[in-house]
Structure 1
Amino acid sequence: MIKPDKPARPDPIYFILLFVPLFWGGAFGVTKHVVAEIPPLTTAAVRFFLAGLLMTAWVAARGEWDWAPLKRRWGGVLLLALTGVFLYNIFFTVGMKYTSAINGALVIVVNPVTTAIVAVTLLGEPWSWRLVAGVALAFLGVLTTITRGSVETLAALSFSGGDLLMVGGVISWTAYTTIGKVVMKDVPPLLATSASTLAGSVLLLAATLAEDGWARLPAVSAQVAWEMVYLIVFPTVVAFFLYNVGIKRIGASRASAYINLMPVNAIWIAAVFYGETVTLAHLAGAALIISGLLLITVFDIRPSAAGHPLRQEE
């Protein structure tokens, strides 16, 4: 008697990848708390310099550090450092000082949408009705978030400075992902990420001269010290590592879909651990943004390659 084949067991990476949006979502509430004790630029510089060292050590230990492609694409790697590490983190950390973790997450998560627009207009990627609908829904979600659902606010253009800084983060991250699509054709993603993180952290270290932050580090509370460890290890090093494993195992399109869970995690973490208030405007904005992102990233739309700078074409 022939025994029937056992059903294939699902690849555990589908479950492991759930930690990626969990760690990234948690970074919003944690950063909001950290910058209350450490100035924003100092926070970003410490986080990315130490994370860059850890990533570089990891790449070197794997025998994957190679100077040849870095020399060929040194200009592109520096642009990655400028846009994705330096400028993005200035907007992100300073913006988080003046807006809520929930608002910050809901604005930043629109990055795949803005990059999809750039990919269509500048890189010749295909346009479709799903992309149009996704962009419209996500844009409406961001608008709902930063206006708090108030028509009066929209009419007066009375957005908070923190929200507008987060929009600056969206623009710089869009530039980063677009440049990355070109640079990472010749430079392996982990190598490019490690090198650009280190280079960008040097720029952030120089920017901290405008702050009086280093003198405050020895006096930070135990909670902030552990939160800095979290920011360095989990959202930066571990999440990047797991994301790259996901790209290798199940492909870039499927791995990027997990980014859609980031605002959901940011909302409940900020509410549970940091006492932020969840409003109907937040929930409505999250629903619209996630709906738009699902249309773009899940339903076989090629511009979904815009999700994250570490992504590769399948």
Structure 2
Amino acid sequence: MKYPYLLLVGATLFWAGNVVLSKAISTEIPPISLAFWRWSTAFVVIAGFGWKKVIQDWDSIRSNLPILLPLSLLGITAFNTMIYLALQTTTALNSLLLQSFQPVVVAVLSYFFLKDRLGKWQVLGIVISLLGTLVLVAKGDISSLSGTDFNQGDLWIIAAVACYATYTVLLKFRPAMHPLSFLMVTFFLGTLMLLPFYLWEHTYAEPIVWNSAVWMTIAYLGIFPSFISYLFFNEAVRKVGANTAGLFTHLIPLFGSLMAILFLGETFYTFHAVGISLTFSGIYLVIRNKISPRKKKQLQ
């Protein structure tokens, strides 16, 4: 796929919708059930496109299960399930605040496990982008974050961030196979690992309140933040690396704020402009100082 930065923008846009919608229906469907039906839907959708590729790549799939299994566990089974569990007891503010540190965690893991060093301009870009994210999350008053109360749900967020940061770094070792094959296999394995937890929750937790809003949300989650976003993100990581791709997760609260303005009638304030400007400035600084003109042509 061409234009990896546009792929990252698209992926984070759909992930922002995931945060908004999953929080909205959190009282109607238990968290593990939401994750299970999301990934089951994603698997059914991608099966229609990818089953022939899986057959072609079958030998590679079998020989690379030692890396496919942890990738499925971290990126599919664990990450979103932990986010959904966290949203049962924590606030959207805490969730966005803690997830904003994901690029930092990716950078640290990349340094220790891949020896991927960041230059001073990349570090500065990450700091500026992080500051922009904090401005958006805190609605312009960063000092208010010092009074934030943390709870058990926030531990789920921290664990989720660690899982997805590790997933992002491990994509470096993704087997040589078609992108659709890779997604279909990881979706299947991730959903399979979720199954016993879903059955437990289905037995002991509150039942799902099936209605049109739940059906539509699961359809959206299965197609856009799952199939499309993961296809976009994985391909972008392959082309620009874990550190740069991870930085784009700072766009999630930015897009979430814009969605609230466009669809919920919230007002556009000065802090929105400041946060957006800082976030994009930091990302631009990293991109500009990471890639040579020759490499830019190769990426396109």
TM-score range, shorter chain: 0.7 to 0.9
Unpaired runs of at least 5, structure 2: 292-298
CA distance 1:130–1:160, shift in 2 (3 Å): farther
1:83 corresponds to 2:103? no
User: Cα distance, 1:51 vs. partner?
Assistant: 0.7
Q: Which moved more, 1:107-116 or 1:172-181?
A: 107-116
Residue equivalent to 1:236: 226
CA distance 1:35–1:271, shift in 2 (3 Å): farther
Counterpart residue type for residue 223 of structure 1 = A
Over the residues paired in the alignment, what is the CA RMSD in angstroms? 4.0
Q: 1:222 aligns with which of 203, 212, 233?
A: 212
Residue equivalent to 1:122: 113
Unpaired runs of at least 5, structure 1: 1-10, 303-312
Residue equivalent to 2:159: 168
CA distance 1:101–1:90, shift in 2 (3 Å): same
User: Cα distance, 1:105 vs. partner?
Assistant: 4.3
Q: Aligned partners of 2:28 and 2:176: how far apart in 1?
A: 41
Residue equivalent to 1:96: 87
Residue equivalent to 1:309: none
CA contact (8 A) 2:179 2:231 kept: no
CA contact (8 A) 1:20 1:243 kept: yes
1:15-40 residue CA offsets vs partner (Å, 9 max, x unmatched): 78754433221111011112220000
CA contact (8 A) 1:260 1:290 kept: no
CA contact (8 A) 1:32 1:100 kept: no
Q: Aligned partners of 1:280 and 1:210: how far apart in 2?
A: 47
* 1:200-279 superposed matches below 5 A: 200-212=190-202, 216-217=207-208, 219-241=209-231, 252=240, 256=245, 261-270=251-260, 273=263
Identity %: 24
1:221-258 residue CA offsets vs partner (Å, 9 max, x unmatched): 2122211111111221233445678789xx547x9586
CA contact (8 A) 1:110 1:289 kept: no
1:40-65 residue CA offsets vs partner (Å, 9 max, x unmatched): 01000110122123223311245764
Residue equivalent to 1:197: 187
Q: Aligned partners of 1:26 and 1:167: how far apart in 2?
A: 20
Question: Greater helix percent: which structure?
Answer: 2
Residue equivalent to 1:8: none
Q: 2:63 aligns with which of 42, 54, 72?
A: 72
CA contact (8 A) 1:86 1:204 kept: yes
User: Cα distance, 1:285 vs. partner?
Assistant: 6.4
Give me the TM-score of the superposition, normalised by structure 2: 0.75
Q: Aligned partners of 2:3 and 2:122: how far apart in 1?
A: 30
Residue equivalent to 2:295: none
Q: 2:35 aligns with which of 40, 44, 50?
A: 44
CA distance 1:99–1:294, shift in 2 (3 Å): farther
Residue equivalent to 2:49: 58
Q: Aligned partners of 2:125 and 2:104: how far apart in 1?
A: 8
CA distance 1:269–1:76, shift in 2 (3 Å): same
Q: Aligned partners of 2:92 and 2:64: how far apart in 1?
A: 36
